[in-house]
Structure 1
Amino acid sequence: MPFDFQNEPTNFGHEMLAHFSFAPGYRNLNHGSFGASPLKIRDKANELRNECETTPCPFIKYRFPQLLDESRAVMSEFLGVPESTIVFVPNATTGVNTVLRNMVWNTDGKDEILQLDVIYGACGKTTSYVCEANGDKVHTREIGFIYPVDDFEIVRAFREAIEASRKDGFRPRIAIFDTISSNPAIRLPSEKLTALCHAEGVLSLLDAAHGIGQIELNLVSLDPDFLVSNCHKWLFTARACAVFYVPERNQAMMRSTLPTSHGFITRSTETMSMEKFTDEAHQKTTFVSNFEFVDGDVECGGEEEIRNYCIQLCHKGGQKVAEILGTRILENHARTSTDCCMVDILLPLRTPTEGDGCLVKGKDGPDITVTEWMQQNMIKYYKTFMPVFPFQGSWWVRLSAQIYLEESDFEWAGRTLKELCEKLQDMEN
């Protein structure tokens, strides 16, 4: 499928590698973790960095805010929401922290944070820290499943958790959930969960780290209370860049950036509402000015074609890997959980996932985990990286599809994983 990348028509697949800078022989089957930006975007980012270094004060004080506004304008149009609701932060975890650490919890100890058991690790740590830092003011309520699970069951369990929270005398204040979870990669019914939160009067914090560029985000119809999405993963921007969306109704809650910086205004000195203009020259609201010193560099185009190619490749490639391994992919009955550009495949390993049994005996060094043994050997002997992780008592691998990959890469991945699994089992026998 041809893709016009800055006036250079290129077919999806290995031809697209010409626009990236991967090392010879390296197969990037893990785009989902850190993304990869095309050379021309990197060149533009380096051009701006050089401009900053040659004239730092003029660039930082005047040029950078102008460029940032241009990026915000492009992103607001891309997401179909007002420019006043869009700012940039370094990554999705920063956005999640910004929301949760700005929350003012009630002193009666009845507030609860609702979360799924597949919450991203760092975000789960954040909710734990928020609870610890606030004493007994706030608690978490986790909703767990045996996966795969259909969307209606997730929505039903979420509704029941809200009801149970209130029945137990608590107050469900905010719910955090993903568009697509990380490990395992599961497309979640985020639209239905957001609607449920609206109906129940619970704030919705949508962790769309894997959202923008991978799935269509219609924020007008979705209308989350807060959303953060990494642009450097699936939108090909330079690292690190994430869009942070806060509708105007909730901007007064976001008192401070992390860390607190020049844009913060104390309540004792604030003489106008949060909608006042704090920058007379550029007419920016407090919310926008507060987040101004965060880098953002956006390129958009061909999104539907990219998504269609990557999702189809992921479906076909994932099935091929499962066939080679003699296992299966993690998929629910309706096949909605795999409607994305990442796929989880069961590894044919008998190794336990808990306790000392999950350690590989080191010949010349310390014992290491199965995850580290697999991933280190991938890098050393196969010039690739694929996330390996324990889940529900088994070992799984997550593969990412992208425009520079083809089915042959997934077939190669299947053979590579099979060899690694066989070597590991021989070591343990």
Structure 2
Amino acid sequence: MAEGPPYGKALREKHFLYKDGYVPLNHGSFGAFPRAVKDEMIRLLDQCEGDVDGYIRYVYPAELEKARQIAADLLNVDSSTVVFVPNATTAINVVLRALTWKPEDVIMYLDITYSGFEKTVEYIVESTPASAQLVDIKWPCETDELIAAFEKTAQDIRAKGQNPRLAIFDTITSMPGIRLPYEQLTRKSKELGVLSFLDGAQGIGQIEIDLGTIKPDFFTSNLHKWLFVPRGCAVLYVPEEHQAEIRSSIPTSHGYKVPPRPGQRKVNNPFPPATGNAFHELFNFVGTTNNDAYLTLSTAMEFRKTVCGGEKAIIDYSINLAKTGGDKAAQILGTEVFDNKSGTLRQCAFANIRLPLEYGDGPGQIPPEDIGKVQQFIAKESVKAGTFFAFVFYNGAHWWRISTPVMLDEADIVWGAQIMKGLCERVRNEEYASQ
């Protein structure tokens, strides 16, 4: 690794902005960025305030073009296919609301699809003639089982005279946090004639992603989660063959091209002519907001290279820590890690540990109707301890998702597991009931 501090506690204390004693075991929800990136954000803010019109109209578009190129290089695609949006949820809304849906069209998705995406699908079902269909699969499963279930779902849809129009699946899911065989799912989508929307919200910075090779129809990823860029910052990838379908940003703004019609008056764009293509112009200015986070990408990438040793070193360390730290946490809690037999689900910087809590009506069990109270109790108590525990109730059990960025080490995870063990004991003693 290049010269610089070691990973773990030393890295986060020297370069990151956490309060004293804070341990970021839930990095995957909102991410973090180092002081160097914060300083760049402040520099950009000062530059804008010094000449707001000159900055927004001329400086920002030129710098945005450079940032798009960095993002495109990271994904191995042409910069003409990449734009920035505030977050992955915006990206899925841009795409699903842009497509024209027919009564026979069906959207396929998984039961571990991010809830914000699932609700977007439900809104499309409510507001258009389209319908939606879950892929019937029980987790954890093997890759071949998932691909078979995915194919069967598409075939069953067609057998009903409907059209499996688009499938949504992840690089790495949110809750529980597991790596999916997204490369195979993308290939299978192409074989089946189904459009693919690859949700990489947790992907960039956590694993290597080569869109130039796998070629999904649509892709998004948050940069503020794992790439050390400020919130909110995400990329939306749309290859040129689909860009004509993306008629508007969200919200619609100056980049929208008004279609000609009799009597239509011309609506001007008050900004200087945009560089790049029409897709870029749609997203260059989407209302007045502070999008300086997009422009810090070069600083974040330089930090990752010079201080953290580069993408491969970061990814290798984080995935290995998820394995060793996850195993230690499971040992402390006396449970197990969420995985399949071949171990493919754990090829990421998450470990999902089953909590030693049983739900039911029997002796020593927690009433199922108290699941929500238990979740709130553990969450609030974890904040008091100086961290945050993210967990989900899935398949009859609570699973604790541990994030393993380079700012953590095994000792941090052991510390967290001991805190969690004590909280689970307090839950069994029904302390949650009084809060």
Question: Is the shorter-chain TM-score for this pair beyond 0.5, marking a shared fold?
Answer: yes
Match in the other structure for 1:349:
357
Say which of 71, 74, 77 aligns to 1:81: 77
Confirm or deny: 8 A CA contact 1:352 1:393 kept in the other structure.
Answer: no
Would you say 1:190 and 2:201 are equivalent positions? no
Give the alignment's Cα RMSD to 1 decimal. Answer: 2.1
Say which of 2, 10, 13 aligns to 2:8: 13
Would you say 1:372 and 2:364 are equivalent positions? no
In 2, the alpha carbon distance for the partners of 1:355 and 1:268 equals 63
In 2, the alpha carbon distance for the partners of 1:317 and 1:39 equals 27
Confirm or deny: 8 A CA contact 2:255 2:285 kept in the other structure.
Answer: no
Match in the other structure for 2:31:
35
Match in the other structure for 1:427:
430
Confirm or deny: 8 A CA contact 2:358 2:366 kept in the other structure.
Answer: no
* Cα shift readout 1:238-266 (whole Å, capped 9, x = no counterpart): 11100111110110011111111110012
Confirm or deny: 8 A CA contact 2:136 2:153 kept in the other structure.
Answer: no
List, as ranges, runs of 4+ consecutive aligned residues in structure 1 with deviation greater than 4 Å. 278-282, 352-356
CA positional deviation for 1:351: 3.6
Structure with the higher strand share, 1 or 2 = 1
Aligned to 1:396, the other structure's residue is in SS state: strand
Match in the other structure for 1:364:
none
In 2, the alpha carbon distance for the partners of 1:40 and 1:267 equals 45
Confirm or deny: 8 A CA contact 1:352 1:358 kept in the other structure.
Answer: no
Q: Using a 3 Å threshold, how does the CA distance of structure 1 residues 205 and 50 change in structure 2: closer, same or farther? A: same
Q: Using a 3 Å threshold, how does the CA distance of structure 1 residues 186 and 352 change in structure 2: closer, same or farther? A: farther
Confirm or deny: 8 A CA contact 2:179 2:346 kept in the other structure.
Answer: yes
1:275-314 residue pairs with structure 2 within 5 A?
281-293=273-285, 295=291, 296=294, 297-298=296-297, 299-300=300-301, 301=305, 302-314=310-322
1:316-331 residue pairs with structure 2 within 5 A?
316-331=324-339
In 2, the alpha carbon distance for the partners of 1:289 and 1:311 equals 38
CA positional deviation for 1:144: 3.2
Confirm or deny: 8 A CA contact 1:279 1:285 kept in the other structure.
Answer: no
In 2, the alpha carbon distance for the partners of 1:267 and 1:356 equals 58
Say which of 46, 52, 55 aligns to 2:51: 55
- Give TM-score, length-normalised by structure 2: 0.89
What is the identity percentage for the equivalent residue pairs of Structure 1 and Structure 2? Answer: 38
Confirm or deny: 8 A CA contact 2:359 2:366 kept in the other structure.
Answer: no
Any unmatched runs of 5+ in structure 1? 271-277, 361-367
1:138-157 residue pairs with structure 2 within 5 A?
138-157=130-149
- Give TM-score, length-normalised by structure 1: 0.91
Say which of 212, 216, 219 aligns to 1:220: 212
In 1, the alpha carbon distance for the partners of 2:2 and 2:161 equals 55
Q: Using a 3 Å threshold, how does the CA distance of structure 1 residues 328 and 32 change in structure 2: closer, same or farther? A: same
Any unmatched runs of 5+ in structure 2? 263-269
Confirm or deny: 8 A CA contact 2:352 2:399 kept in the other structure.
Answer: yes
Aligned to 2:109, the other structure's residue is in SS state: strand
Would you say 1:387 and 2:390 are equivalent positions? yes
Confirm or deny: 8 A CA contact 2:391 2:400 kept in the other structure.
Answer: yes
Would you say 1:131 and 2:125 are equivalent positions? yes
Match in the other structure for 1:275:
none
Confirm or deny: 8 A CA contact 2:318 2:404 kept in the other structure.
Answer: yes
Return the letter of the residue paired with 1:27: V
* Cα shift readout 1:137-186 (whole Å, capped 9, x = no counterpart): 10001013222111111111000111001001110111111111100111
* Cα shift readout 1:242-294 (whole Å, capped 9, x = no counterpart): 01111101100111111111100122269xxxxxxx99855421111001126
In 2, the alpha carbon distance for the partners of 1:196 and 1:133 equals 29
CA positional deviation for 1:407: 0.5
Return the letter of the residue paired with 2:315: R
* Greater Cα offset, 306-315 or 346-355: 346-355
Say which of 56, 65, 68 aligns to 1:69: 65
Confirm or deny: 8 A CA contact 1:73 1:83 kept in the other structure.
Answer: yes
Return the letter of the residue paired with 2:151: R
In 2, the alpha carbon distance for the partners of 1:266 and 1:206 equals 29
Match in the other structure for 2:251:
259
Would you say 1:240 and 2:248 are equivalent positions? no
In 2, the alpha carbon distance for the partners of 1:410 and 1:427 equals 25
Aligned to 2:377, the other structure's residue is in SS state: helix
Match in the other structure for 2:40:
44
CA positional deviation for 1:76: 1.4
In 2, the alpha carbon distance for the partners of 1:3 and 1:93 equals 35
